[in-house]
Chains A and B, each alone.
Chain A
Amino acid sequence: MGEQSNAAVEKHGADPLAARIGAEARERLRAARVGVAGAGGLGSNIAVMLARSGVGHLVIADFDVVDESNLNRQHYFRRHLGRPKVEALAEQLRAIDPAVCVETHRTRVTEANVRELFAACPIVCEAFDNPEAKALLVEQLLTDPAGPVVIAGNGMAGTGPAAEIATRRVGRRLYLCGDGVSDVGGGAALFAPRVALCAAQQALLAVRLILGEEGMGRDGR
């Protein structure tokens, strides 16, 4: 280690994130486990933001491979084309923070496996593109009394104003991020900034839940 690196360690401590956010918050984030269901435009961006925020454990499920048509909004690079998304994403997350534990499942999330896949996660970010799959995940995880808080992405297609993307709580264990109406099925395209706005709200809410700044639906909160 050169002199400059020693000076950096002295200035920021061995953990620069802890120096910025405080040891307690750092520890809560490090101990947290968040599920990400789908590794497309929402899921890939959510996972990257959570890794940067110091979330220690991520469980990511997706069946798909990286396609050229994904590169306009999903957090992948040309070199990832043809590779399973969960693999390409895990590689990026470890490049951001080698300490992050990434559990990947290259599988289609279904009614039959969704509870098991995310059984160890107190928080799950729903990041599918298909509305039926979104509804199914919410139903399966929320009808399980021991299930997680679900943060679903709903409505981020098109080029509508950023302020229309919002986060709201609709149940004890259900939060929604998005404008609630912009449907890709209506012919609207998906643009990186608006998809990332929605992903950022989902990731921010996960961080807020981990830090105790939002209710998890337990103890009346």
Chain B
Amino acid sequence: MARINGKDDPGANGRTVAQVLEALGFEGARVACELNGDIVPRAEFAERTLSADDALEVVRFVGGG
């Protein structure tokens, strides 16, 4: 089962990174995504499909600095 932010997610298998972000309610322009430890370029969010042994870490950035 694919893992999203450290938790098993039964719905994530077969979804693209973009679809996972949409399901989480996250805006693509404000996140950084790491798939199995490697950063996913934004241009590939719509193409990269998650498989059962994938681990996706989504960092959502907020304003202020």
Using a Cβ–Cβ cut-off of 8 Å, how many residues does chain A contribute to the interface with B? Answer: 38
Closest to A43 in B: B65
A204 sits at the interface (CB 8 A): no
Provide the residues of chain B in CB contact with A183, threshold 8 Å. Answer: 62-64
Main secondary structure of the interface of B (DSSP, over half): mixed
Contact A171–B30 (Cβ < 8 Å): no
Option from A138, A153, A188 in Cβ contact (under 8 Å) with B39:
A138
Q: Which residue in chain B gives the minimum CB-CB distance to A171?
A: B34
> What's the Cα separation between A147 and B57 when bound, in Å?
20
In the complex the two chains form, is B63's CB within 8 Å of A157's CB?
Answer: yes
Given A138-B32, A171-B34, are A154 and B62 also a contact pair (CB < 8 Å)?
yes
Can you report 11 A-B residue pairs in the complex whose CB atoms are below 8 A from each other?
Answer: A40-B65, A130-B65, A131-B63, A139-B42, A143-B41, A153-B65, A155-B64, A156-B65, A157-B62, A174-B59, A195-B64
Chain B residues with a Cβ under 8 A of chain A = 29-32, 34, 37, 39, 41-42, 57, 59-65
The 8 closest A-B pairs by CB, nearest first: A184-B64, A183-B62, A129-B65, A131-B61, A142-B39, A134-B61, A184-B63, A157-B64
Other than the given A153-B65, A181-B62, 13 more pairs (CB < 8 A) read A131-B29, A132-B29, A134-B65, A138-B59, A142-B39, A155-B62, A155-B64, A157-B62, A171-B57, A174-B39, A180-B62, A184-B64, A185-B62
